[in-house]
Amino acid sequence: MKTFYLLILFIGYFHLSSLSQGNLQFNQVLNIEFPSTGTTVTVPSGKVWKLENCMITSTNFYACMVVNGQIYYMRQHNTSSSAWDNFPFWFAEGKTITFGGGCSPGIVSIIEFNVVP
């Protein structure tokens, strides 16, 4: 009976591990500067990006990114309120993002990971 339970656990473990999507392995840090007119980038195949932070070079403005035609505001700074953010933010391979796009210029800090099967 003990062997039966061990066999079930063994089969279950390998079944669940075959459903996983892989592991993440650190690749590099990216610092992408963007003008107010925008910089468009695409996450390379086999990679995922973790957007860690955004700094803007203007006061009384906000930084934004455009994903699938939708504008997301990442950071605001003015004299009457403090900055806000929703970091970290993850992007899957193949995702195209425009940083800036009519908002304040700045720089984003991204950690790139390899997807290891």
Judged by phi (left if over 0) then psi (alpha if -120 to 50, else beta), residue 68 lies in: left
pLDDT higher than 70, residue 66? yes
pLDDT(13) > 70: no
Split at pLDDT 50, 70, 90, the class of 117 is confident
**How is residue 23 written in tokens?**
């592991």
Domains of the chain, by residue range, sit at 21-116
Domain 21-116 has CATH 1.10.10: no
Q: What is the pTM of this model?
A: 0.73
The highest-confidence range among 4-13, 28-37, 66-75, by mean pLDDT, is 28-37
